[in-house]
Chain A
Amino acid sequence: EDKVVQSPLSLVVHEGDTVTLNCSYEVTNFRSLLWYKQEKKAPTFLFMLTSSGIEKKSGRLSSILDKKELFSILNITATQTGDSAIYLCAVRTSGSRLTFGEGTQLTVNP
Chain B
Amino acid sequence: DVKVTQSSRYLVKRTGEKVFLECVQDMDHENMFWYRQDPGLGLRLIYFSYDVKMKEKGDIPEGYSVSREKKERFSLILESASTNQTSMYLCASSPASVSYNEQFFGPGTRLTVL
A-side residues, CB < 8 A to B, are 4, 6, 9, 31-32, 34, 36, 41-45, 48, 88, 90, 92, 95-103
A45 near B102 (CB under 8 angstroms)? yes
Q: What is the total of A-B residue contacts with beta carbons within 8 Å? A: 52
Q: Give, as a whole number of angstroms, the nearest-CB distance from B6 to chain A.
A: 9
B-side residues, CB < 8 A to A, are 4, 31, 33, 35, 40-45, 48, 50, 58, 90, 94, 96, 100-108
A100 near B44 (CB under 8 angstroms)? yes
Question: Please, could you name 16 A-B residue pairs with CB atoms under 8 Å apart, sorted by A?
Answer: A32-B101, A34-B102, A36-B105, A42-B90, A42-B105, A43-B90, A88-B42, A90-B43, A97-B48, A97-B58, A98-B33, A99-B45, A100-B35, A100-B42, A101-B42, A102-B42
What is the bound-complex CA distance between A21 and B31, given in angstroms? 29
Closest 8 CB pairs between A and B? A42-B105, A100-B43, A102-B42, A100-B42, A32-B101, A96-B31, A43-B105, A42-B107
